[in-house]
Structure 1
Amino acid sequence: MDAPTFIHTTVLLQETVDAVFTRPDGTYVDGTFGRGGHSRALLAKLGPQGRLIAFDKDPAAIAAAQSGPDAITDPRFQICHTSFANAVEALAEIGVHQVDGVMLDLGVSSPQIDDPERGFSFRFDGPLDMRMDTTRGETAAEFLARADERLIAQVIRDYGEERFAVSISKAIVARRASGKPPRTTAELAQLVAGAVKTREAGQNPATRTFQALRILVNAELEELEQGLKAALALLAPGGHLAVISFHSLEDRIVKTFIAHESREEIDRRAPFAPPTRALRLAPLGRIKPSEGEVRGNPRSRSAVLRVAERVRSALEEGA
């Protein structure tokens, strides 16, 4: 039996590639390869001396890049099976210490959502896994089987921004005490639906809980913070950072990071002394999908692309 085919529509494709591209023979990084939409479009813009290095934690994404009908055989391209949070070390191993652009497309890809075996979606019944890297780490089911009521509620509240987090946590722990902890996506979705009293029109009651568990299992926010620091360390002056986020927790981290790195730090005790920390990024803008893109791909509705340029201040020049 043939393996199922999952369709992925790349969000903000041209906008992201145009934002990150600075010169045809530069070296670029796609920190979240997914199914390679952004990578393929960027390769089409690169010159013969250009280079693109991609990262992904998902073995299925690595396999899609390296084999099968959609494999990328371009000699200017290579892919690493690791998180972009490890990019500085991973790139150093292949002799790359500076790049001209970094793009990050955060969150979960359509093939991950649409494959019941991955456990990312309540729309299909499947094992409650949610790991992007299926070769390591704790599954969502394993977390719910061992965490106490207070920790489960904290995760659902903080990562899902769910106001019924305590009720959901109580329901999960009560189900577990009966000897039947939730093991599948359908079981968890049903459990959450019974614990959530009201919900926004058109939104499944389990949406926020599933988001929270996925973020926890994959340490997404921590890896985003580490990945942004890695991008800053790698970008050459004039290089561009382009980051697509899909929910407020991600976007807040990206927005705060760019704002922080676009200010010099002054010692208030010596206001006329030179800055103690250099300005390192210049914001270039915030882009949302067009109405046409949202109509064609409803999953793009919440996407936000933030772009910044790496600058080198006088303080860094003197370092």
Structure 2
Amino acid sequence: MFYSSGKQNFVVKKKDNLKKDIIETLMKMLNEVNPYVKKFRSARDRFNTDPDNSFHMRIVSERSKDGRTYNTPTASEVAALIPGDFSLDMDKRDIVLQQKSGKLPRINEIHASYLALQYPLLFTYGEDGFRLGIKKGATEKTKKHKKPNISMRQFFAFRLHERKNESHALLHSRRLFQQFVVDAFTTIESNRLRYLKLNQPSLRSDSYDSIKESENAGKVDMNEQGTEFTLPASFVGSPRYMKNNYLDAMTICKHFGFPDLFITFTCNPKWPEITRYVKARKLKAEDRSDIICRIFKIKLDSLMDSLTKKN
């Protein structure tokens, strides 16, 4: 870990094997091209020269540019220094940083600056990440879609694919890429759960049987039961999803009889398709978990096709 005192003085903690010249090069690069670094340094200088006045730094969530293009934002677009107290007209997703507040502000996952602040080395120029309202490209297929905007899952799926004439820094970042994929998954899951929680009345969900049973049983303190919301049966991994699949399996067994084969299909990172791919890019199999999953799914579909259609 390291930090700068403003005069290119570096303090390395716990990690004595960090190379100072690489750190200096990275910081010089970020100082030159990253709009967030420029704005944070401007805020630091402002706080140092006028420490008595109260200032807030607002990182704006709304963007005027088209989210379908890789627009590089400027320092004036992503943040603003605001004297005095908070303004009521701020977007609730805006990030507001206070001087010496003693608290860690939580960044909303659908904030356009979320990825740039979380991964400054991957998004060196402060490129915008996912945000609400990114329109789909105008094609014959998208014209038939009911939803005009792309989802968060579609956004991350787009970023995880290689394309010609594009930078592959994200896909070649090894452990950082693994962390990025995990963050993407948890972000998508948390937003799906948040949507289900906020839209319970509009979902075709069962009643809260456990809470009602506890209440009818005479348990006065309902806080012990917690706050529950029902997940639909289509939510993979939910109790209703597993129960429905179990009942479907039992119904099939009742109609056709017990299965004759119990087949487990596992992935082997030494498969020639995987080793050939990662070797050409000087990576390891674990560095491209997305490719492993795709090859596994292709082979699984091929096996199922052989069993069900080709006998």
Give the alignment's TM-score, normalised by structure 1: 0.26
Larger Rg: 2
- Write 1 or 2 for the structure with the bigger share of strand: 1
Give the alignment's TM-score, normalised by structure 2: 0.26
Question: Higher RCO, 1 or 2 (CA under 8 Å, sep at least 6)?
Answer: 1
